[in-house]
Amino acid sequence: MFRTMKEIPSEAASGDDDGVIAVRRAMRILEAFGVDDAQLTLAELSRRTGYHRSTVLRLARTLALDDYLAQRADGSWRLARASGWLGACYQATFNVHDVVEPMLRELSTATGESATFYVREGHQRICVQRIEGPKSIRHHVRVGTALPLELGGPGRVILAFSGEPGEPYETIRRSGYMISLGERDPEVSSISAPVYGINWTLLGAVCVSGPISRLTEACLQAHKALVLDAANRLSRAMMGTRRPSAPPPGAAFLPAWK
């Protein structure tokens, strides 16, 4: 669901020139579109951005001059050729590791534990990116390692948000994450959350893991907000938008879209 955005008084107060404010407002108009929006009315664009209709109309007409927007016969607006070209360029030059690695590093620094991103490959989960925690005693997994889906938090999360029926998958879907205490390895615990891409396609799972003697259930609960935020930001980066369309039924609730 889109949130109504207020005007940006801080920009005017900061002394930024009118041109900078106009550019940022124009970007907000483009960002108002989601992957399910073939077109949006002027009223809906006004609601999603929080700008007056006259402001939206002026900016939309300006964007249309260079084919970023186009107006339909019924008066509604749609993304046009130039917007599509930018999207194609982004997809062509996008490197998942450039996005995942720094976010895992932030997560590892914040929690003091190892952070990993897993993807599904057949009936296994593959470690595609990992940042080792700073502590000398830690859980070790090599990049490229294949592990079972049905054992351990990341695999269970991938199965849950791929639609696997029954428990524990129903509970994982309701929670939006999973804490695993010694399930795959009796000496390892973890907390995991799903990561999505364009059109809410499940990409994999991000997790924080470490020795169960240190990462108790209470400790993992304390890391929950950090893990969910990392999964949230990774999903935003993969989708290429700050405000994605509403998730389909069964997708994890990501509460911090901004």
Rounded to two decimals, the pTM is: 0.64
Matching CATH number, 9-91, of 3.30.870.10, 3.30.1300.10, 1.25.10.10, 1.10.10.10: 1.10.10.10
Stated as kind and residue range, the H or E segment containing 117 is strand 114-121
Q: Do domains 9-91 and 96-239 have the same CATH topology?
A: no
Residue type, 67: D
Give the strand pairing for 124-131 and 114-121. Answer: antiparallel
Please list the residues that pair with 70 across neighbouring strands. Answer: 78
Tokens of 55: 């402001």
Residue whose token pair is 């062509």: 92
In CATH, which superfamily holds the domain spanning 96-239? GAF domain (3.30.450.40)
CB 33, CB 40: distance < 8 Å: yes
pLDDT (tens digit, 9 = 90+) per residue, 125-177? 999 899 998 888 777 788 888 899 999 999 999 999 999 999 999 999 999 99
| DSSP assigned state of 204 | E
* Average per-residue pLDDT for the chain: 84
> What CA–CA distances, in Å, run from 21 to 7, 13, 76?
10, 11, 24
pLDDT (tens digit, 9 = 90+) per residue, 168-216? 999 999 999 999 998 888 999 999 999 998 778 899 999 999 999 999 9
Query: Would you list the domain boundaries of the chain?
Result: 9-91, 96-239
Tokens of 184: 């795959």
